[in-house]
Amino acid sequence: MFTTITKLTALALAASRYAQAVPLPEDVLGVPYAGISTASHEHPTTALLIVDVQYDFINGTLGSDRAYNILPTIYQLLDEHSWGMIATSQDWHPQTHVSFASNHPGHASGDSVQIPMLASRYNETQLQSLYADHCVPGTIGANIEAGVQTRLDTLLGKTPITQIHKAQNQHVDSYSAFADNQYYEFTTLAPEMRARNIDKVVVTGLITNACVYGSSVDATKFGFGVTVISDGVETTSAEDQATALEELEEWWGVNVETLAKYEASE
């Protein structure tokens, strides 16, 4: 669907099972989370979209040490900013999902296969990358990272929060928080944003050249102004990171900037 998404096959080749214990919030920042929000930046018509900050993309089957780099930035966006709405997305795959190499005999993680276009009347197909099993509901890997989840729990009742479980249809993948890769089904995210008078979206999370990319592109297609926080998104290599962010800027008109620059421009 997107040119950069094929690079995510590197994730499958490099995948490893849980190599370390699931980190608590204090494991990243060095101090326990106090549960205190000190929002000094207000964004009443902007939504914060936190994409797939799940353990399988941090230290799980598709994990990368680089993923840890973004957590302090996401914490800051939750602790020091108030938003018109916060949305979180999670991959939410059934065990039979089409993206799992385990469901394609004779294939392995890193391979690609052709899958049917669900709405096609002409037997059209779409290229599908294959990965290790990941983000299956009920597994630790599907959970949002604890430091992020704790902050979201603290904000319940204070800020509108919506949770998007994507890629539930076993027959099609979904990188975007707004729709699946074939635009066969759409989530409730865009209508919810419209209902709350949201006109801008700030995007952070994982993985830059896949679900962050897809969500950012679809946000522009729905007419939202999009900012990707460059130090709040990550992938498996500096090269893939730079390429994806450059494409988002040049091809899709997405604003890409650091959190410090975003705060300074307010």
Residues marked active site are found at 52, 166, 211
Helix axes 71-79, 146-155, angle to 10 degrees: 10
Angle between helices 213-221 and 238-252 in degrees, nearest 10: 10
187-215 residues labelled b (16+ CB within 10 A) or e (exposed): bebbebbeeeebebbbbbbbbbbbbbbbb
Q: Which helix (H) or strand (E) holds 119?
A: none
Is 8 buried (19+), middle (13-18) or exposed (0-12) by CB count in 10 A?
Answer: buried
What are 52's two structure tokens?
């797939």
What's the rounded Cα separation, in Å, for the pair 87 and 244?
Answer: 22
Please state, in angstroms and as integers, the Cα–Cα distance from residue 62 to each residue in 14, 31, 58, 131, following that order. 7, 27, 7, 8
Is the CB of residue 205 less than 8 Å from the CB of residue 74? yes
Alpha-carbon distance 242 to 227, whole Å? 15
From the CB of residue 143, how many other CB atoms can be counted at a distance below 10 Å? Answer: 19
